[in-house]
């Protein structure tokens, strides 16, 4: 059997992958890093925990990895209480810690071999090469890990996290600070892990990343869970509707449109926005608008995104994990 692949075995079906109830982690005197959160992952998927710096993402992940003891509540992985004994599930879980730095003085294949040894996984040189190939490091095989770029280090980190073919893989901000190409490479890797049947628990503060990759998203802020659902559900529920933008239509345009009974608003820059509550109405709205003499610079539709959901819920935008305005 290919050691890098593992599919769900019948005995693992039916058990919750992650189940968290009323989880808290307090740091005296006043920090409530995790403040009573509940959520569960019942079947394999890419699950993304989103939130700004200090939201409590790493604390939550590290509790689920058995590295931190919660103050209260319960946390179970594969139906095992992670606060008691992690050993029954250690081999089913992979982790990439936040800001991971691989072993400086080892070359990538040496690092993989060493790490596999720690997990008691027997890797032949061929297995090692296959894993190095899978994460796209074949042409960087002969250099020391400390000389790898930031993106290459994360790729090596992912290779290490995969040595035991985990069914559940925790990736704590794997793409923070990477350039767009390295981010895309990592996204492809994450999707591949998922396609092989594993669950990926991904923390990030990139909303576009969560929207692209995640089948389910949970937004965390100040230790609390704000919402959870598929990106599309959250956009439908919490985002505003799709709008038709009439760029530069100005006061005159606004008047012409509203005079015909179409509701519209104007942005400070003079763009006029026509909300479309139901996508099925889009055609009718376009037809009505095209019948009006309007001076516009451009006309396009703007779809709502997770960014809008986040802005609506938290009241601020997020830039590299920092809340702005």
Q: Which residues bind ligand ATP (CB under 6 A)?
A: 27, 31, 33, 51, 53-59, 98, 205, 321
Q: Which does residue 48 bind out of ligand ATP, Mg ion, none, counting CB within 5 to 8 angstroms by kind?
A: none
186-194, long-range: CB < 8 A, 24+ apart: 186/151, 186/154, 186/155, 186/158, 187/212, 187/213, 189/134, 189/135, 189/136, 189/155, 189/158, 190/46, 191/46, 192/134, 193/162, 193/169, 194/44, 194/45, 194/46
| Strands across the sheet containing 93-96 | 93-96, 168-172, 199-204, 46-50, 216-221, 224-229
Structure tokens at 315: 């009241």
Min dist. Cβ of residue 292 to Mg ion (A): 51
Residue 177 CB, shortest distance to Mg ion, in Å, is 13
* 71, interface contact from ligand ATP, Mg ion, none, CB < 5-8 Å by kind: none
**C-alpha–C-alpha distance, residues 276 and 259, integer Å:** 17
Is-cis flag, bond preceding 81, omega within 30? no
Cβ proximity of 188 and 154 under 8 Å: no
CB of 205 to ligand ATP, least distance (A): 6
Q: Phi first, then psi: give them for residue 287, nearest 5 degrees.
A: -65, -45
| Residue closer to ligand ATP (CB basis): 77 or 111 | 77
Three-class secondary structure assignment of 111-179: HHHHHHHHCCCCCCHHHHHHHHHHCCCHHHCCCCHHHCCHHHHHHHHHHHHCCCCCCEEEEECCCCCCC
- In whole angstroms, the minimum distance from the beta carbon of 214 to ligand ATP comes to 16
**Three-state DSSP class for residue 103:** coil
CB 78 within 8 A of CB 12: yes
Residue pair 190/171 in contact by the 8 Å Cβ criterion: yes
Query: DSSP letters of 48-88?
Result: EEE--TTSSHHHHHHHHTTSS--SEEEEEETTEETTT--TT
Nearer to ligand ATP by C-beta: 54 or 73?
Answer: 54
Residue 51 interacting entry, from Mg ion, ligand ATP, none, C-beta within 5 to 8 Å by type = ligand ATP
Closest CB 261 distance from Mg ion, rounded Å: 50
CB of 153 to ligand ATP, least distance (A): 17
Pick between residue 58 and residue 242 the one whose CB is nearest to Mg ion.
58
Contact positions vs Mg ion (CB under 5 A): 57-58, 98
7 binds, among ligand ATP, Mg ion, none (CB under 5 to 8 A by kind): none
In angstroms, what is the C-alpha Rg of the chain?
24
216 neighbors 194 (Cβ within 8 angstroms): no
Q: Which is nearer to ligand ATP, 33 or 77 (CB)?
A: 33
Compute the least distance from the CB of residue 42 to Mg ion, in Å.
25
Shortest CB 57 distance to Mg ion, Å: 5
Which of 62/256 has CB closer to ligand ATP? 62
266 binds, among ligand ATP, Mg ion, none (CB under 5 to 8 A by kind): none
Residue nearest to Mg ion (CB): 58
């Amino acid at each position: 059997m290919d050691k890098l692949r593992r599919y769900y075995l019948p005995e693992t079906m039916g058990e919750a992958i992650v189940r968290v109830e009323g989880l808290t982690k307090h740091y005296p005197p006043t920090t409530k890093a995790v403040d009573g959160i509940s959520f569960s992952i019942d079947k394999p998927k890419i699950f993304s925990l989103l939130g700004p710096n200090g939201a409590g993402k790493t604390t939550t992940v590290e509790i689920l990895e058995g590295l931190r003891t919660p103050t209260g509540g319960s946390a179970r992985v594969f139906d095992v209480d992670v606060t008691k004994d992690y050993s029954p599930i250690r081999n089913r879980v992979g982790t990439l810690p936040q800001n991971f730095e691989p072993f400086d003085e080892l070359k990538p294949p040496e690092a993989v071999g060493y790490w596999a040894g720690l997990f008691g996984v027997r890797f032949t040189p061929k297995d090692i090469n296959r894993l190095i190939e899978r994460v796209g490091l074949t042409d960087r095989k002969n250099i020391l890990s400390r000389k790898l770029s930031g993106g290459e280090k994360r790729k090596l980190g992912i290779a290490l996290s995969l040595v035991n073919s985990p069914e559940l893989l925790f990736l704590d901000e794997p793409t923070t600070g990477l350039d767009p190409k390295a981010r895309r490479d990592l996204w492809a890797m994450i999707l591949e892990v998922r396609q092989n049947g594993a669950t990926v628990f991904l923390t990030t503060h990139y909303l576009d990343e969560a929207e692209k990759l995640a089948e389910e998203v949970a937004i965390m802020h100040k230790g609390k869970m704000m919402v959870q659902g598929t990106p599309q559900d959250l956009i439908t529920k919490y985002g505003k509707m799709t709008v038709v933008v009439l760029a530069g239509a100005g006061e005159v345009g606004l008047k012409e449109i509203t005079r015909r009974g179409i509701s519209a608003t104007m942005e400070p820059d003079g763009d006029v926005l026509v909300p479309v509550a139901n996508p099925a109405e889009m055609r009718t709205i376009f037809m009505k608008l095209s019948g009006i003499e309007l001076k516009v610079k451009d006309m396009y539709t703007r779809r709502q995104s997770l960014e809008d959901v986040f802005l609506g819920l938290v009241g601020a935008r997020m830039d590299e994990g920092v809340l702005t305005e």
